[in-house]
Amino acid sequence: MKYLSLFENFQDDRKYFTDSELSYWNKLWNSLNIKYHNNQFFSKIWDLMKTKKSLTKKQWLEMEFLLKNGKSRYEAGILPANY
């Protein structure tokens, strides 16, 4: 796991993004359902990702799942609704 963190550009428990990574994730973000753009949780994380170019590990876990799968971990049934 230690080497995976280095590969994914984690430092001090934060994921840092390059401009090319942000461009890739931006394409995925734009292809998502509009309900995620209007969702306060995900839109706030997305704004942090674009402006600060970094997220905490927990924020990145949620955002990465959403971007790669097109739905949140709650909707996928990975996390219970009352978590």
26, burial (CB in 10 Å: exposed 0-12, middle 13-18, buried 19+): middle
pLDDT in tens, 6-64: 446 677 788 899 999 999 999 999 999 999 999 999 999 999 999 999 999 999 999 99
Largest CA distance in the chain: 36
Res 8: pLDDT: 62
Residue 83 lies in a domain: no
Residue 2 belongs to what H/E stretch?
Answer: helix 2-7
Greater pLDDT, 46 or 74: 46
Residue 81 lies in a domain: no
Residue at 8: amino acid letter: E
pLDDT at 83 over 70: no
Res 1: pLDDT: 43
Domain that residue 31 falls in: 2-76
**Sequence-distant (≥ 6) Cβ neighbours of residue 52 within 8 angstroms:** none
Residue 9 lies in a domain: yes
Across residues 59-82, what is the average pLDDT? 85
